[in-house]
Structure 1
Amino acid sequence: MASTLDRYCGSTFWNSSLLETETPDLTVCFEQTVLVWAPLSLLWLLAAPIQLANLWGVPSVTRPVQPRRFSFLYIAKQVTLVLLFVAAVAALGITLSEDFGPMCDPKPCDVSAPMLYVNPCLYMLTWLLLLVLGEVARRRGGGGGGGGGLLFLFWLLLVLCGALPLQTLVRQLLAGVAGGGERHWVFFVSFGLQVHALVLSAFADSASEPEETKPCQFKPNPTARASFLNLITFTWFDKMVYRGYRRPLEMSDLCELDSEDEAGRVIGQLGRSWRREERRGAAAAGVTAAVGVTAAAATTTDLTGKSTEFLVMEPFSEPDVGYGSRGGGDDDAAAAGGGAGGKPSLFRAMLRTYRRPLIESAIFKLIYDLLVFVNPQILKAMISFTDDPRVYEWKGYVYAVVLLLTALLQSVLQQQYFLRCFLIGMRVRSATIGLVYQKSDGSGAHSACR
């Protein structure tokens, strides 16, 4: 593996002796492979698919949206990506000129390493992908920071990984051992543009409003205009806290619910899952579910006292939002208790409806619990560092930074875990109340949502 990467870079991939000094450094091959592929993999394998999936689900028949206007933030982001694309083209052009153009001296000269061809091409494809994602987000009316959180993490990781080659290049320039001035200038320009893109990604465009908005006496929800950093730090709530500190809050100070938390939406989601459970239970019990008429057995008694059994056809129709059978309490208890014997299960319907936030909260909790075991190991390494005077000083700074970042990450993960748990509880409670009201009242979904 190492020999393959050595041929790919044209130099040594790993040299551990570079870390056993007072001024540690990484090899150029490691910086141009691992530190380049890591952020690009985050974008292509995780951020871009999730972003496209979220954007594709923004418009709907019930909540149509309009494309966003060309805001200053959108134009600044797209122009930055175009400049990054030009810088990648320039880097590829420099390599071609060194191998086949007038910059090749003497002729014939050796061909540059494949790394100098592949990396600019990867960057060009990446900037094109981000341009497409930005335009799709504008046309689909997406906004806020929830969907762009992974994109912000991509830019952050890209800048952090680019800072290591930057310091290597600066030290080489100061020592007078660096060559290839044109390529270095392209790198400096690209890194500056990446930092600029990171700053821009910390802000979010507001999502476009639906074409027909319902009249609402409350203020717009601030989370729709909050960036990723605002969402994870809850700074979007600062104005409400400050307003409550200055004076008692009133009804006019409240904001409207997020569209994901509205009664009509949560009741409809759980209702569809419950109807699916009813159909599954009917199929498991060998009963054909049909909309139209149902058959019921009845008896009648004539004047002589003789009983006659006959078949009665009763009309039947499925309501807008499904709820349990109007039978006795045994069916309701079986539905809530797990669906034994082919009965529909309310618990399974809830799992199907809220599986995504449940999985997200489980992942946050798992990572948080794993980080709990990391802190003692870091503290152990710091104690060993203080006891051994032969250990290089830079390792102590690394331990301190890692300990700080671990504590910050634990705090963020725990907050997001509890937030999702509270949201799931609120949605389950609202949906259950709506379905129970609909079942007892016999009204449609619109009345239950009111």
Structure 2
Amino acid sequence: MTQAAADVSPRIAMNNTPENITSEIILLPGLCNDALWDPYSTWYTEDPQFGRCAERTVLLWAPCFLLWVCSPFYALVLKRRRYDPVPWSALAYTKVMVTGVVMAAAVVEGVWAGTGGYGSVTTADFLAPPILFVTYALYLSLLVGERRRGKRSSGLLWTYWLVAVTAGAPQLTTAVTTTSRQLPPLLVATFVVQYLGYVVLFVASSVNDVPSYLQRHAKTKNPSPEVDASFLNRFIFFYNIPLIWRGWRRPLVDHDLHDVLPKNSAETVYKAWRSSLDREEGRAWEGPKAPPVTVQTQAKVSVVRHILRQCYTIMLPPFILCLLLEAVSFLSPVLVGWLIGFMEDGEEPAWHGYLYAVLLFVVCQVRSLLKNSYLYGVLVTSVNVRTALMAAVYNKGNKHILYYRSLSLFVGPSALAGLAVIVILIPSSSRILSYTKTLQYNVMTLSDSRVKALSEIINGIKVLKLYAWEESFTERIKGIRDEELKLLKRLALCRSLSTFLFHSTPFLVSVWPFVYS
């Protein structure tokens, strides 16, 4: 440990900074020749650098671990989608070719490690090439699977490349700016090639691919720009900028609003609901294989369980975003405390303050994006559930109406008596409703005139007292109020009559055919 590090470490240990958490050297003797984490070369210094062990293990394995863990769940999601292949485009060929280049670089790096390199090959150097090669192959298989299932932009693959670019930045800085460590030139060259591939693939993953055949022919007259938006575009809601700009320049009209997404339309939601409900009812009717001892009624289907089973794919992302949002919310106070400690100390390296400020800005922005995406996901989920339930209720109600209409065949001509009651009551109810609206308008007009007169009296109270005009103005206000009370009485009678007709119409329609017969 250098003298500068010895002078800095006791002082930093007394402050409320991250150094209090990690202040020991961590070694991995089975993987690396140097330390995995050395705070005196990473944090307690003016020139921070990660060691080669951390760059070849943690920073390299982290994005691979992310992709490996999420791939099985993502494969299940892709399996649920229908077969809708996306045609090959220049963007797709670019992704495949760049992936082939980084796989070739991993193979070259593996051959270099297998032949002994320049005598400085560690176990981590042996493990890195096969791990990277398998990860690239997994990415390529997911890319092909997405194209076969009509997935034009992937959130998982975009996140993977974002983490890979971020985690590879320290090693790139070390490879470009550091010469004292005498890194093997071939290792530096293969890493630079792979990192450039990371950047290209990250940019390519931020762009949406061409639509499939079914997606091209499923567009409506005024399709939503979200249909052709990439994952990054949807995550930051950038596709709404034209609509916001149009609304800022002039008031929006009906044709400015976009159509509902096909997957969120009532037809699509109800079809999925009906299909899933039919399968659920089939399982409920099957019952146990052995005959029950007691007599049982018709098996019931749990609507709540059915909603969870059908909507878990759209409910899971908002739930995950909510967890991430709560986790990120705890970081802001911690970073603010570290920044305050840095300002009070005044002896820490300057890059600590820049790091705290950048992290605080990034955390605030990520928290805002996660919150917006979470609220959007919750709203879409609630609307889809409500749409499915409303469509199911209306469908069942229409079936019951159809069943009831067949009763007229048994009632005979007497059913016309009930129809006559409906024909008479409908225009009567409409007339009463129209008269009620007129009375409401007149009542509001009289109320406004009364309030206006009272305001004039209050403003000119001195003049009224001077000329003794109190009685005349009192009679004026009283006359307006009496007329208002008359209209309120008529309005109450109309509402009572309308309520009576509303509740008595089904009874009259049902009873009158039997009275007539």
User: What TM-score do you get using the length of structure 2 for normalisation?
Assistant: 0.65
1:369 aligned to which of 321, 326, 330: 326
**1 or 2, which has the higher helix percentage?**
2
**Structure 1 residues 136 and 354: alpha-carbon distance in aligned structure 2, compared to 1, 3 A threshold:** closer
Determine the structure 2 residue equivalent to 1:434. 391
**Structure 1 residues 280 and 3: alpha-carbon distance in aligned structure 2, compared to 1, 3 A threshold:** same
**Structure 1 residues 278 and 141: alpha-carbon distance in aligned structure 2, compared to 1, 3 A threshold:** closer
**Structure 1 residues 217 and 408: alpha-carbon distance in aligned structure 2, compared to 1, 3 A threshold:** closer
Whether 1:73 aligns to 2:91 is yes
Determine the structure 2 residue equivalent to 1:425. 382
Q: SS in structure 2 opposite 1:56?
A: helix
Determine the structure 2 residue equivalent to 1:137. 146
Aligned partners of 1:212, 1:391: CA distance in 2, in Å?
58
Whether 1:172 aligns to 2:178 is yes
**Structure 1 residues 267 and 89: alpha-carbon distance in aligned structure 2, compared to 1, 3 A threshold:** same
CA contact 2:26–2:37 (8 Å) conserved in 1: no
CA contact 1:9–1:113 (8 Å) conserved in 2: yes
Determine the structure 2 residue equivalent to 1:184. 188
2:127 aligned to which of 110, 114, 118: 118
Alignment of 1:251-266 (within 5 A): 253-266=256-269
| Identical amino acids, percent of aligned pairs | 28
Determine the structure 2 residue equivalent to 1:26. 50
Structure 2: gaps (5+ residues): 1-24, 289-293, 402-517
CA contact 1:217–1:252 (8 Å) conserved in 2: no
**What displacement does 1:34 show?**
0.4
Structure 1: gaps (5+ residues): 105-109, 290-341, 445-450
Determine the structure 1 residue equivalent to 2:61. 37
Partner amino acid, structure 2, of 1:402? L
**What displacement does 1:382 show?**
0.8
Partner amino acid, structure 1, of 2:323? L
Partner amino acid, structure 2, of 1:233? I
**What displacement does 1:95 show?**
2.4
How many residue pairs get matched?
370
**Structure 1 residues 394 and 246: alpha-carbon distance in aligned structure 2, compared to 1, 3 A threshold:** closer
Aligned partners of 2:40, 2:250: CA distance in 1, in Å?
63
Determine the structure 2 residue equivalent to 1:405. 362
CA contact 1:88–1:124 (8 Å) conserved in 2: yes
Determine the structure 2 residue equivalent to 1:11. 34
Q: SS in structure 2 opposite 1:8?
A: coil
1:24-75 per-position Cα deviation (integer Å, ceiling 9, x unaligned): 22211011100011110111111x3344233322216xxxx3x222211001
Partner amino acid, structure 2, of 1:21? T
Alignment of 1:390-401 (within 5 A): 390-401=347-358
**Structure 1 residues 196 and 278: alpha-carbon distance in aligned structure 2, compared to 1, 3 A threshold:** closer
CA contact 2:89–2:210 (8 Å) conserved in 1: no
Partner amino acid, structure 2, of 1:45? V
Whether 1:267 aligns to 2:270 is yes
Determine the structure 1 residue equivalent to 2:236. 233
Partner amino acid, structure 1, of 2:391? G
Determine the structure 2 residue equivalent to 1:203. 207
**What displacement does 1:432 show?**
2.0
Aligned partners of 1:246, 1:386: CA distance in 2, in Å?
45
CA contact 2:32–2:123 (8 Å) conserved in 1: yes
**What displacement does 1:191 show?**
1.4
Aligned partners of 1:121, 1:169: CA distance in 2, in Å?
21
Aligned partners of 2:113, 2:359: CA distance in 1, in Å?
38
**What displacement does 1:254 show?**
4.6
Alignment of 1:202-351 (within 5 A): 202-210=206-214, 213=217, 218-245=221-248, 253-271=256-274, 276=280, 287=296, 289=298, 345-351=302-308
1:74-95 per-position Cα deviation (integer Å, ceiling 9, x unaligned): 0111111001011111112222
**What displacement does 1:344 show?**
5.1
**Structure 1 residues 277 and 370: alpha-carbon distance in aligned structure 2, compared to 1, 3 A threshold:** farther
CA contact 2:106–2:133 (8 Å) conserved in 1: yes
Aligned partners of 1:217, 1:355: CA distance in 2, in Å?
27
User: What TM-score do you get using the length of structure 1 for normalisation?
Assistant: 0.74
Aligned partners of 2:243, 2:347: CA distance in 1, in Å?
53
**What displacement does 1:177 show?**
4.2
Aligned partners of 1:56, 1:443: CA distance in 2, in Å?
38
Determine the structure 1 residue equivalent to 2:336. 379
Q: SS in structure 1 opposite 2:28?
A: helix
**What displacement does 1:115 show?**
1.7
Determine the structure 2 residue equivalent to 1:308. none
Aligned partners of 2:258, 2:250: CA distance in 1, in Å?
17
**What displacement does 1:160 show?**
0.9
Aligned partners of 1:288, 1:187: CA distance in 2, in Å?
68
Partner amino acid, structure 1, of 2:29? D
Partner amino acid, structure 2, of 1:68? V
Partner amino acid, structure 2, of 1:37? W
* CA RMSD after TM alignment: 3.0
1:236-277 per-position Cα deviation (integer Å, ceiling 9, x unaligned): 122333344556656655544323212223223444565637
**What displacement does 1:281 show?**
9.9
CA contact 1:368–1:413 (8 Å) conserved in 2: yes
CA contact 1:155–1:194 (8 Å) conserved in 2: yes
**Structure 1 residues 192 and 378: alpha-carbon distance in aligned structure 2, compared to 1, 3 A threshold:** same
**Structure 1 residues 394 and 286: alpha-carbon distance in aligned structure 2, compared to 1, 3 A threshold:** farther
Aligned partners of 1:212, 1:95: CA distance in 2, in Å?
49
**Structure 1 residues 116 and 55: alpha-carbon distance in aligned structure 2, compared to 1, 3 A threshold:** same
Which one is further off, 159-168 or 262-271?
262-271
1:157 aligned to which of 156, 163, 180: 163
CA contact 1:80–1:197 (8 Å) conserved in 2: yes
> Quick check: which has more Rg, 1 or 2?
2
Aligned partners of 1:212, 1:371: CA distance in 2, in Å?
39
1:82-115 per-position Cα deviation (integer Å, ceiling 9, x unaligned): 010111111122223445xxxx7xxxxx683222
Partner amino acid, structure 1, of 2:339? M
Partner amino acid, structure 2, of 1:222? P
Q: SS in structure 2 opposite 1:9?
A: coil
**Structure 1 residues 6 and 369: alpha-carbon distance in aligned structure 2, compared to 1, 3 A threshold:** same
